[in-house]
Amino acid sequence: MVIAFYAAASVTVVGYAGLILEDWQRVPLSTVAILAVAAFMLIVGLLFIVMATRQGDVALIAPFRYSALIWAIVLGWLTFGDLPGLWTSLGALIVVLTGLFTYLREYQLNRQA
């Protein structure tokens, strides 16, 4: 609970810091509802990640965390009609390949031991 709280609080603080650079606009109630649902899902997701990390092997859990990249791309496309650019795609590919390499290396080391 503490980790999820601090993660949510830090996102909130950084978000408010960004408001200094933007003009205020009235937000439609439908947008507030979508943001509330998204915030709730974020908190639940973070709690499940913390619980899974406590109970399971991190090497087994990490690939599921990388699936967040895929979900973000799909939901961004469905919700906003937006796809990531070249640099974002390249960065995501590097992150995923690094995770897969680490997982396979650990698997081989454990198999040898």
pLDDT value at position 61? Answer: 74
**Four-point Cα dihedral 49, 53, 59, 62, nearest 10:** 10
Which pTM does this prediction carry? Answer: 0.50
Written as tens digits, the pLDDT of the chain (113 aa) is 787 788 889 988 998 888 888 888 888 999 999 999 998 998 898 888 888 888 877 767 777 777 788 888 888 899 999 999 999 889 888 987 887 888 788 888 888 87
pLDDT value at position 95? Answer: 83
pLDDT value at position 78? Answer: 93
**Four-point Cα dihedral 79, 36, 50, 66, nearest 10:** 10
Where are the domains positioned within the chain? 1-55, 57-113
* Cβ atoms 103, 66 nearer than 8 A: no
